[in-house]
Structure formats: structure tokens, C-alpha cells
Amino acid sequence: MVGVVLLAALAVTAALSLSLGAADLSPHAAALSVLSRVPGLGGLEPGLSSAQQTIVFELRLPRLALALLVGGALAIAGVVMQAFFQNPMAAPSIIGVSAGASLGATVAVVSGVSIGVAGLGAVPPAAFVGALLATGIVYVLSRRGGGTPVGVLLLTGIAMGSLLSAAAALVLVTGQDPTRRDLDQVVYWMLGSVAGRTWGHVLLLLLYAGVAGALTMLFARELNVLSLGDDTAHYLGLNVEQVRLTVLALASLLTAAAVAVSGVIGFVGLIVPHLMRIVAGPDHRVLIPAAGVAGGVLLAMADVLARLIAAPAEVPVGIITSLLGAPFFLYLLHRRREYGM
């Protein structure tokens, strides 16, 4: 039942994303336009002009695909982090991944580096490298006697995130010949957006998120055991430290890849895993794919709102997710206090 609802929501969201924007199109025509490119269905006539076809295939379809991938990657990373920390309020950025990506992106923008990967520019690879380096540093600094205590990792991640955010601001302010354009570009990236992205961004994220997501599914049973607590996991024969390291690396890779192409988008990895755990249950064999689809739907729908809320201007989608996520986070805090947690 949950799967049917999620697939229906995905279909509705896709239709809205392809049809709404500065140039409104009929959802039926937009859907036919996409289906007309499917082998065997080429006889369909969507009735769209060549300009409208360009809007669908070169602007809105890659934007929709990227929103689905970014939202899914962040949601799956959130599922892993909440199991890792055994806390429903954990999020993918909790160990400094987003802050590291922000520093990498800021350095790339201020330095004016023009070399990129697959024609995508320097910001995505710089953000990706910064995110992974931040995760590695946090992990190394958190090691204690051959193990990685969760509390130490959490506090180290918070401290490192603050340090890297400050470093990014310092680079932006003191960079060589800073311009207003640099500031605008960095600030807009930090607010998060899937606008103006290309199929190259989609393919890049699909490569990393697809592999990391599939590997995460292979650890669904281990995540179930890990959620029971370290003592129980040890008793059941789980190599807790090895599993923690592996799933932490996978969650960091998912987050780093998503943030690298979309900028910093908050709260998706907090809201979706928590809600899907209520709806689909705690079994990670079901929870991971359900959260992946729901995360994509949430971000794609937020992107639709970002286009419409201040039309003809667009609001960065990270603002929309923060407006949705911050009240939800406060609600979680209230509920945990109410039950003495």
C-alpha cells in the first residue's frame, strides 16, 4: 500500500514539475512529449512546439531527475545516519559533510578555477572533494582506542562543521579581488537549488548515488541490527565498528554527491526518514527504498513551489525545505521532551 501511494505521488509530482513554471504547459501534453521519446511510442503527438519541447527536455526534465536523485540520496543518507546514531533527529549533515562541501565550493568560486569534470565547472568536484575530506577528518579525529564512540563523532562533527563554515566565510571575504558576483554565486549555492542544471549533473549524481544507494540496500539487515544498540548487535555477532565505518562512508558519499550538484539543501534527510519510519515501519529493507522515493518526491514538489511562490522569480529550493523542516524539527524536540527523552 505504501509503495502504491508513493508511486502515485511520484507520478503527480512529475506531471506538475514538467508542466508548471514560467511557461505553463498542459500536464497531458508534457507527459505525451516525454512518452513520445520512448522507443515504440514515437507515434504519440504531444502537440507542443519545438520551443516547448526544448523547455521540457532541456530544462524541466533534467531538473526533475536531479531533484528526485538529490532528494532520494539525502533521504537514504538520513536513514543511515539515524540508524548510526540511534537517534531520529540525526541528519546527513551532522558530521560536517555540508560544511566541507561549502568550503570546497567557496574556494573554487573565489579562486576562479575554470577546470571542471565533464563540462560541469569546478564547483561540483570541489564541493565533492571538500565534503569527503571533511568526513575523513571527522572520523580520524573521533577514533578512540580502536573504536569510534558515537558521542565523540557527533561532537567532533558539530565542531568541524562550525570550523569549516567559518573557513568558507573567511575565504569568501579575504579572497583575492572578491566581487559581488562571487558573493552572489556562493550564497545562492549555499541556499541550494536544482535550477539551471544539465543532464551532465544528472548523470554524475546517478553514478555516485546509484552505486552508494545500492550498496546501502545490501546493509539493510546490518542497519536493522545496529538500530537495536551496540550491546545487542555485538551479541548477535555483528562487527559493529566495521559496519559503522562502511555505512558512514556510504551516507557521506550520498550526501557529498547530492550537495556537490545542488548546493546545501537542509532537512530532507531529517523529515523523510522519520515520517517513512512511521508509515513503512523500521525494517530497513523497506525503509531505505521508501525513503528514497519519498525524498525525491518531497524535493521535486518543493522545487515546484520554489518556481511558483514568487513567480516569475524563483526561490532557492533550500529555503522551501527549511521552511518545512524547521517547524518539524521543533515538533520533534517538543515530543522528545514531552516523553522525557
| pLDDT tens profile 193-228 | 898 888 888 998 998 889 999 999 999 999 999 888
CB atoms within 10 A of CB 322: 19
Q: Cα(159)–Cα(152) distance, rounded to whole angstroms? A: 11
Mean pLDDT of 128-151: 85
Chain position carrying cell 559503522: 244
- DSSP class of residue 44 equals -
Which cell numbers in the block locate residue 329?
524539527
Total domains, the chain: 1
Report whether 243 contacts 219 (CB < 8 A): yes
**Cβ(198)–Cβ(62) below 8 Å:** yes
Segment 153-175 shows an average pLDDT of 87
Residue type for position 3: G
Q: Is the predicted pLDDT of residue 115 greater than 80, yes or no?
A: no
Alpha carbon separation from 336 to 45, 85, 152, 330 (Å, rounded): 55, 16, 22, 10
pLDDT number for residue 120: 60
Question: Of 297, 293, 266, 269, nearest to 280 (Cα)?
Answer: 293
Looking up residue 333, the CATH number of its domain turns out to be 1.10.3470.10
* Cα–Cα dist 40/32, whole Å: 13
Q: How many whole angstroms separate alpha carbon 25 and alpha carbon 202?
A: 23
Q: Of residues 289 and 176, which shows the higher confidence score? A: 289
- Asked if residue 74 lies in contact with residue 97, where contact means CB atoms within 8 angstroms, the answer is no
- Cα–Cα distances (Å) from 56 to 40, 52, 266, 287, in that order, read 20, 6, 27, 32
Q: What distance in Å separates the CA atoms of residue 106 and residue 150, rounded to the nearest whole number?
A: 30
Mean pLDDT of the chain: 84
Among residues 108, 155, 158, the alpha carbon closest in space to that of 128 is found at 108
Strand partners, 147: 144
Q: Please state, in angstroms and rounded to a whole number, the distance separating the CA atoms of residues 84 and 154.
A: 11
Q: At 246, is the pLDDT very low, low, confident or very high (cuts 50, 70, 90)?
A: very high
Are 165 and 131 in contact by the 8 Å Cβ rule? The answer is no
Of these ranges, 70-74, 140-144, 157-161, the one predicted with the greatest mean pLDDT is 70-74
Range of the domain at 162: 2-338
Tell me the backbone φ, ψ of residue 147, rounded to 5 degrees. Answer: -130, 175
Quote the pLDDT of residue 116: 53
**Mean predicted confidence (pLDDT) in 56-83:** 92
Query: What's this model's pTM, rounded to 2 decimal places?
Result: 0.89
